[in-house]
Amino acid sequence: MKRPDREWTVKLKPRAIVQGALLSLSLYAVAYYHFTNAGLPPIPSAAIAVFAGGLLLFAAVAAVATTVALSRELGLWLRFQIRPKASKPPWHLVFRFNQVFIPRRYQEEVTENMIAQFHIDYCEALADKRFFRARLLTVYFYFNAIGNVFGLITSGTLKKIVTMWKLIP
């Protein structure tokens, strides 16, 4: 069972797009706040309309792209569930998931390790003719991806929030 290289060398475009959108949104908010509070002329309504239109267009394109990607993944996943031996394990979704949710500095190592380990477990299950286990592993794989993100949130951000909260007198 061969898997093309591109599957584990996919670059981080979705994450960059989300970050770019958030950055432009925050820049816009800062600029808007600054101009309206400093008594300078507010941003013309035409500029706001253009920005809002752009944002809407971006949201629409993102929604369509996400729906298409998810349906494709779901299709692959269902095909795999029906015929596990004949089809390729649908690992792609975890790539997408990690690209969006896992910080870049963890991404490569976490994704590579996860896919390699699951590939081994999956091949073992198939070799032992344990098809149900092979099917179950794909579900477990997705849970694992979610677990990694939760692990990051709970051990990182949440801990910082709790520490800051405790510091408030």
List contacts with another protein (CB under 8 A). Answer: 1-3, 8, 102, 105-106, 109-110, 112-117, 119-120, 143-144, 146-148, 150-152, 155
What is the rounded CA–CA span in Å between residue 12 and residue 70? 17
Nearer to another protein, 36 or 113 (CB): 113
Answer whether 124's CB lies under 8 Å from 141's CB.
no
As given in the structure block, the two tokens for residue 163 are 């520490």
As given in the structure block, the two tokens for residue 55 are 């944002």
Nearer to another protein, 112 or 128 (CB): 112
In whole angstroms, the minimum distance from the beta carbon of 86 to another protein comes to: 16
Nearer to another protein, 2 or 46 (CB): 2
- Helix spans in the chain (H): 13-37, 45-82, 92-101, 104-127, 131-152, 158-167
Rg of the Cα atoms in the chain: 22
In whole angstroms, the minimum distance from the beta carbon of 151 to another protein comes to: 3
Residue 24: count of CB within 10 angstroms of its CB = 14
Nearer to another protein, 20 or 147 (CB): 147
Answer whether 94's CB lies under 8 Å from 114's CB.
yes
Task: Kindly report the length of the chain.
Answer: 169
In whole angstroms, the minimum distance from the beta carbon of 131 to another protein comes to: 19
In whole angstroms, the minimum distance from the beta carbon of 146 to another protein comes to: 8
Nearer to another protein, 17 or 149 (CB): 149
In whole angstroms, the minimum distance from the beta carbon of 76 to another protein comes to: 18
